[in-house]
Amino acid sequence: MQHTFCSFVRHMVRVICTVSWQGLILVILQSPDGDVIDCVPSHLQPAFDHPRLRGQKPEEEPAARPGNDHAMEDDDEEEVLPQTWRSSGEWCPKGTIPVRRTTEGDLLRASSVRRFGMKPRSAAARRDSTSNGHEHAVGYVSGGQFYGAKASLNVWPAQVSSPAEFSLSQIWVISGSFGNDLNTIEAGWQVSPELYGDNSPRFFTYWTSDAYQETGCYNLHCAGFVQTNGRVVIGAAITPVSAYGGRQFDITLMIWKDPKKGNWWLQLGPSGALVGYWPSSLFTHLGARGRGGADMVQFGGEAVNTRPSGSHTPTQMGSGRFPGEGYGRAAYFRNVQVVDWDNNLIPAAGLRLLADHPGCYDIAGGQGGAWGSYFYYGGPGRNVRCP
């Protein structure tokens, strides 16, 4: 039997429903931006529908983290990531995780319902190829084994001109070849009208174990990523965001491999809060325990141009401004680091910079001071240098 109680909080335009179902109390929250957030018991989250994860429960947090990073205390009330859904101060109850509900509207916007929540197969093209319409401005390290990556990146309300396009800024952890066996783990912020129905920058994750063919997805749209944090909604809007010529707002992300169990954990914010992990069993190259690390780590932006044979899209990357405009105007990554074989955070030595179309989206880096290894990146898309 199901019993439902809903209370309406008018001043925050928020609906809170409590549903009793099979002995469980399920809480439903409505965000001011229209998102519906389901508070799902941790052991019933989408990840555990995966055949390799059925019957499991979330793992305990790793005892050791790279470098001097630390865990947030359990009683720390600091907000992990400012998001619109949290503006009323409501949280999901202990023992549950907040999951952004997929609506009928989300499915109707999708170019393919079967591939809803997945990147196109063409996303696996090499970084020196732009024939697929995916354009990048990235810093990357390769030629070794990497066991994680960390950086801080500022968040912008990038303008996306077509529902079929997106703009994102993220960290990629990559292993395998850019053929059919590519493994990637990804996290950052993105603007995607098709996926979310608006132009808000949203926190996202992604993974694939077969070069974006049939495995993996954004956020929690498929079984895979195991969320352990009850204060972050993956796929929810980030607020505040950076303002041109004004206050800058950035987020700190770290992805790293637990050397004992081989899972890849996602850490968010200066407080060191863990969001969850990608189980090692999801992957081939990235899944090996011990010394099975990544061949490449990338940091930067990606924008989709759906008019590669005509005029270039005006979809922005980053702030929509070129790197030369600098702080307060251009998007940046700062304190760019990688995790070595001994679980140490070290500067990303030999960071190489690549812009597919510098006249559309460019990148320029530097080194030193409190920012360590850093770069500015992005651009407006179509302009006099990018017709």
Q: How confident is the model over 124-149, as pLDDT tens digits?
A: 544 554 557 899 999 999 999 999 99
Q: How confident is the model over 14-68, as pLDDT tens digits?
A: 545 666 555 555 789 999 999 999 999 999 999 999 999 999 999 999 988 997 6
Residue 122 vs residues 127, 132, 180, 212: alpha-carbon distances, Å:
12, 6, 11, 8
Amino acid at 40: V
Whether 359 shows a pLDDT value over 90: the answer reads yes
Q: Please give the structure tokens belonging to residue 276.
A: 């969850």
DSSP one-letter code for 32:
T
* Helix runs in the chain, H state only: 104-109, 193-196
pLDDT computed for residue 307 by the predictor: 87
Q: Mind listing the domains of the chain with CATH numbers? A: 132-379 (2.60.120.1270)
pTM: 0.91
Q: How confident is the model over 197-220, as pLDDT tens digits?
A: 999 999 999 999 999 999 999 999
pLDDT computed for residue 5 by the predictor: 44
Pairing of strands 226-227, 217-218: unpaired
Residues 338/348, Cβ–Cβ less than 8 Å:
yes
Q: How far apart are CA 121 and CA 328, in angstroms?
A: 35
Q: How confident is the model over 214-243, as pLDDT tens digits?
A: 999 999 999 999 999 999 999 999 999 999
pLDDT computed for residue 3 by the predictor: 41
Higher-pLDDT residue of 14, 117: 117
DSSP string covering 296-319: EEEEEEEEE-S-TTSSPP---BTT
Residues marked active site are found at 186, 302
Give the up-direction half-sphere exposure of residue 309: CA atoms within 13 A in the CB hemisphere.
Answer: 1
Query: What backbone phi and psi angles, to 5 degrees, belong to 106?
Result: -60, -45
* Helix runs in 79-164, H state only: 104-109
Residue with tokens 């050791």: 64
Q: How far apart are CA 226 and CA 205, in angstroms?
A: 11
Whether 155 shows a pLDDT value over 70: the answer reads yes
pLDDT computed for residue 1 by the predictor: 39
pLDDT band at 308 (very low <50, low <70, confident <90, very high): low
Distance from chain centroid for Cα 3: 36
Q: How far apart are CA 290 and CA 287, in angstroms?
A: 9
Whether 370 shows a pLDDT value over 80: the answer reads yes
pLDDT computed for residue 226 by the predictor: 98
pLDDT computed for residue 291 by the predictor: 64
pLDDT computed for residue 220 by the predictor: 97
Buried b (16+ CB within 10 A) or exposed e, 10-23: eeeebebbebeeee
Which residues, other chains included, contact 164 with Cβ-Cβ below 8 Å and sequence gap of 6+?
A: 111, 194, 304, 306
